[in-house]
């Protein structure tokens, strides 16, 4: 049987888990909204609802007449903005995972790229590339 103390511990644990779940859901919702906003930002502004409508329609196989407004917006989203936003999302997630890995390897919650010398190595690589004249675009 559970005593009063055991019952309160279980109730506190359940509240703790519920707070974690709510936090994760809120963060995921914010990420989805921010993703939609980032896809909608550009020379041709689009509302977030319109962005998600075009994404959903494209996934469902809806086609638009060539050179119509819908066709142009769909092409802009899928050819330019979606790859940009997906790679930004991937880069952010990769940086987060790298930070967590570095903190767990060092067993130090304040560990960062400067602690292990990764930043110094990256700066050295950039300096060498600049001195040797490496370019991405010819």
Q: What's residue 5's pLDDT? A: 61
Spatial contact of 54 and 77, defined as CB atoms under 8 Å apart: yes
Q: What's residue 1's pLDDT? A: 47
Distance CA 81, CA 41 (A): 8
In the numeric block, which tokens belong to residue 2?
């559970």
Q: What's residue 6's pLDDT? A: 62
**pTM beyond cutoff 0.75:** no
How many Cβ atoms sit within 10 Å of the Cβ of residue 32? 12
Could you say which residues of the chain have pLDDT below 70? 1-6
- CA separation, residue 29 to residues 25, 32, 96 (Å): 6, 5, 18
Domain boundaries, the chain: 4-108
The total number of residues written for the chain in this structure: 138
Q: What's residue 86's pLDDT? A: 92
List pLDDT tens digits, range 92-109. 999 999 989 989 988 988
Distance CA 21, CA 9 (A): 18
């Amino acid at each position: 049987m559970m005593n009063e103390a055991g019952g309160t511990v279980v109730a506190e644990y359940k509240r703790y888990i519920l707070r974690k779940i709510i936090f994760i859901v809120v963060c995921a919702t914010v990420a989805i909204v921010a993703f939609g906003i980032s896809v909608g930002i550009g020379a041709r502004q689009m509302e977030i609802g319109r962005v998600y409508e075009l994404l959903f329609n494209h996934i469902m196989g809806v086609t638009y007449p060539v050179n119509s407004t819908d066709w142009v917006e769909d092409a802009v989203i899928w050819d330019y903005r979606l790859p940009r936003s997906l790679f930004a999302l991937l880069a952010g997630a990769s940086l987060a995972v790298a930070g967590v890995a570095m903190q767990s390897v060092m067993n130090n919650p304040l560990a960062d790229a400067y602690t292990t010398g990764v930043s110094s190595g990256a700066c050295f690589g950039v300096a060498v590339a600049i001195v040797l004249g490496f370019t991405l675009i010819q």
